[in-house]
Structure 1
Amino acid sequence: MIKKQREAAIKPGIYEIAVNGLFTALIAVGAFIKISIPVQPFPMNFTLQFFFVLLAGLLLGGKQAFFCVLTYLAVGLAGVPVFAAGGGPAYLLRPTFGFLLGFAAAAWVTGTVYSRFKDRGFKMRRLFAASLCGFAVMYLCGMFYFYFLSNYVIHMPVSAGVVFVNCFLLTAAGDLFLCFLASMAAKRLGPAMSFLR
């Protein structure tokens, strides 16, 4: 009896570790499924990473999803080329790194907002609403970091208008579509993975 109880307690932990590792890997793989947008002063990349970030938040919850993204960032900053343009600590000085930080915030916000619904059944409108919150936070982090780093750290001045066009208008429609896709995927996968939240 005691042995069975121990096994029952261990299994969820093993599943959580495995699933967290899986989502960390998926976020990394998503960096290489990309469309490069050659704009000045810094090229932008539209990737599938945001899809996996949202999916992690919706399926795993804010805390676990945040941990997945932090693990991914730590691996990349340690030098493993898992970012869209490589890896290493120098990546902190790339204006677009703010969007990677935004992934961590988006994962936490998406999962946390979704968990606030009293009846958390995997309803499309609730999933999409939580994804939109993650979308907003990710873009706020990314655009602020881009503007601040460009103007005050690496001294390559860029106007707020250019940041808005390059960092939002060119990619927002695609990321909104990813919000929809992630919500659809979570609606289908959610019931089978609800024990992880």
Structure 2
Amino acid sequence: MLNERQFLSIREMTAGGLFAALIASGAFIKVTLPTEPFPMHFTLQWFFVLLAGLLLNKRLAGASVGVYLLVGLSGVPVFAAGGGPSYLLRPTFGYLLGFAVSAYMMAWMCENIRILNYMKLLLVSTAGLLVYYGIGMLYYWLVCRILISQEVTWQILLFQCFLLTVGEDFILCVAAVSVAAKLRGLIRRTLY
């Protein structure tokens, strides 16, 4: 017999779809950084991934980012540089994978920390930021080294794939935590 909590409620599906759409819209608010061999994009996607991870449960947070990724990989141009299955071969796709893992992990941490205050939410979002960048940098290095056969030194990886945008992304963490601290109780009461 199936447990009724195995299915998403209409409210949960709506919230998941809303966050997938917000993440997609965040891709269009971007600054392109002319780095070599591939340009990097600083977008507002991370802000909405943070909100998903801080406001939703782990299943819904991961699913909302997963839906966004599936829509983009199916060919809808919702990523910062387009869409389609060939996006898997772009070195920067790892950051999008990092979004999904980070959203799930942050939601899991929020579910397992007893009392969440501003500082704990900021620590959770910072942990998510490190996971997001770690996965993105590893994927970038692997694709450049294995698929493209281009040598990427650790200095280039550290500068282009981390230092260039991590400060701005941390500011997005602070902004998202400020919003989540105010909305968390309302969202949790409405959805769960």
The 5 A counterparts of 1:116-135 are 116-120=112-116, 123-135=117-129
Highest Rg: 1 or 2? 1
Aligned residue for 2:44? 48
Aligned residue for 2:176? 182
CA distance in 1, matches of 2:47, 2:80: 15
What are the Cα deviations for residues 1-50 of structure 1, in whole angstroms up to 9, with x where unaligned? Answer: xxxxxxxx9xx811111111100000000000001110111110000001
The one-letter code sitting in structure 2 at the alignment partner of 1:114 is C
What are the Cα deviations for residues 114-160 of structure 1, in whole angstroms up to 9, with x where unaligned? Answer: 2111124xx11111111011001000000000001101112122112
The one-letter code sitting in structure 2 at the alignment partner of 1:35 is V
2:156 matches 1:165: no
CA distance in 2, matches of 1:27, 1:41: 26
| 81-90 or 187-196, which deviates more | 187-196
Could you state the TM-score of these two structures normalised by the residue count of structure 2?
0.93
The count of residues paired between Structure 1 and Structure 2 equals 185
2:14 matches 1:18: yes
Please state whether the residue corresponding to 1:64 is helix, strand or coil.
helix
Aligned residue for 1:149? 143
Could you state the TM-score of these two structures normalised by the residue count of structure 1?
0.91
The one-letter code sitting in structure 2 at the alignment partner of 1:63 is R
Task: Check whether the contact 1:69–1:107 (CA below 8 A) recurs between aligned residues.
Answer: yes
Q: What are the ranges of 5 or more consecutive residues in structure 1 without an aligned counterpart?
A: 1-8
Aligned residue for 1:59? 55
- Aligned-CA RMSD value: 1.3
What are the Cα deviations for residues 68-89 of structure 1, in whole angstroms up to 9, with x where unaligned? Answer: 0110000000000000000000
Task: Check whether the contact 1:93–1:154 (CA below 8 A) recurs between aligned residues.
Answer: no
Seq. identity, %? 47
The 5 A counterparts of 1:66-105 are 66-105=62-101
Please state whether the residue corresponding to 2:42 is helix, strand or coil.
strand
Give every structure 1 segment of 4 or more consecutive aligned residues whose post-TM-superposition deviation is greater than 4 Å.
none
Q: What are the ranges of 5 or more consecutive residues in structure 2 without an aligned counterpart?
A: none
Please state whether the residue corresponding to 1:150 is helix, strand or coil.
helix
CA distance in 1, matches of 2:57, 2:151: 38
CA distance in 1, matches of 2:58, 2:130: 16
CA distance in 1, matches of 2:98, 2:154: 18
Shift of 1:163: 0.9
CA distance in 2, matches of 1:132, 1:110: 9
CA distance in 2, matches of 1:94, 1:115: 33
Shift of 1:61: 2.0
